[in-house]
Amino acid sequence: MAFDLNGIDIHTPSRYAHSFPWAEWEVLRREAPVFWYERDDIEPFWAVTRHAEVMVISERPKIFINGGPRLRLALKGETELLRGGLDSFGQSRGWNPQEPPDLTFMDDPQHREVRKHASWAFTQGCMRSFASHFDQLAAGFTAEFLAELEQGGEVDFVRHLAAKLPLAAIGEIIGLSAGDWKRILVWSNAIIGEVSPEHVLPGETLLQAAERFMNEFRLYLEELIQAHRKPGGGPSDFVNRLVSATVNGQLQNDQQLIGYLFVLIGAGNDTTRNATAGGLVALLEHPEQRDLLCANPGLISGAVDEILRWTSPVISFLRTATEDFQLLDKTIRAGDTVCMFYPSANRDESVFTDPYRFDIQRNPNPHLTFGFGAHFCLGTNLAKAELRAAITALLPVLPRLKLGGMGHRIPNTHVSGFAELPVALA
């Protein structure tokens, strides 16, 4: 298929409701890996689609910053949902509009200082201590899912299985009440603009519903934080440590802590859920790889990495150039926006042999699913531990499963995955 570079579409959210624009990205990697992308309905940006150039940008956080005017793609007239603090909720509390909404909007040294106050909970050692518990949770959730399947008909894999372990895991690490998890799932879905029709009030748009849910989430976190500020603290060791931690000698205020917990919980839920659902699809659509894994469970670590490469649940992030920079034959000017497309980098032919082949024994597998550099995903170890537990629990069931209908993907240019995935017994 021939493409006019000025006619390709890699920015429209609805484009991602069906699949990723693999053919367009492939052309860009080959012909214009650093491409000035101008369209009528979005502010222009440099589209960066190859592994090497994504690495170059990620390794230079002082030149390509997170704290600029754009961090996620948004059409003209639309605001980034995660830029909280300037809306009615923040205004009613006198929030500082200059404060970064959360950790992802910060740059060093502030980013490094704030990040360390949660990093202790996501180390490999902590995840090893949770491993057997995650295995138990995953086995229990899978047994419940199988029981539903055995009643006949199709069952939504996302709602009835994939969403459960990530929510339980982050809920237990942070110390959230299990009774709140269902509400947190609805709220965290709203972070990426995913709102079920039954949750939209009469006369309300999807965007308005998403904003309402995010403000409900902020109120929940506000009450959680205030409860843990009282003498003696609260039941969550994680939140107790967070409210007592200092940044540059000062305690963080409610605005800063709400933003911190908001992104930790949301990021800890959506992306792993999407990788789990996408991983199931990959295994069922590649039965030889499914059978290989079922016969050799020791391959699970490689399978997890290949699922992460294959699904690439985080599609893109933006950075702002602070100075002129030469990238290949292009001069990126100070103030320009660059957009890194991670799924494209994870299919780069110059890095991955036969990149469109799903191979659980792929080695090496230097995927960029978690980013790279200063903003390498804080929850990497958690995501891998959850995926390992979820897929391991599914192994005895996998040969009995088949995909149902087409499923429904999230129309989003930042985080993508299945909002609904019908599965049945084969």
Question: Would you state the pLDDT for residue 81?
Answer: 66
Using the structure block, give the residue that is written with the tokens 């040294």: 109
Instruction: Assess whether pLDDT exceeds 80 at residue 152.
Output: yes
Q: What's the pLDDT at 46?
A: 98
Q: Which helix (H) or strand (E) holds 321?
A: strand 316-321
- Residue 115 is inside which H or E element, if any? helix 110-119
Cβ(134)–Cβ(171) under 8 Å? no
Residue 263: helix, strand or coil by DSSP?
helix
Residue 335 has pLDDT above 90, yes or no: yes
Domain 13-425: CATH superfamily, name plus number: Cytochrome P450 (1.10.630.10)
Tens digit of pLDDT for each residue in 13-31?
999 998 999 999 999 999 9
**Strands annotated E in 128-176:** 155-156
Residue 1's pLDDT is 58
316-321 and 337-341: which strand pairing? antiparallel
Q: Give the contacts of 146 (CB within 8 A, at least 6 positions apart).
A: 397
Q: Grade residue 384 by pLDDT with cuts at 50, 70 and 90.
A: very high
Instruction: Give the ranges where 150-286 is alpha helix by DSSP (H).
Output: 157, 164-174, 181-191, 206-229, 237-244, 254-285
Domain ranges for the chain, please list them.
13-425
Interval 99-111: pLDDT, tens: 999 999 999 999 9
pLDDT of amino acid 236: 96
H or E element in which residue 302 lies: helix 300-311
Q: How large is the angle between the packed helices 164-174 and 254-285, nearest 10 degrees?
A: 150
* pLDDT band, residue 85 (cuts 50/70/90): low
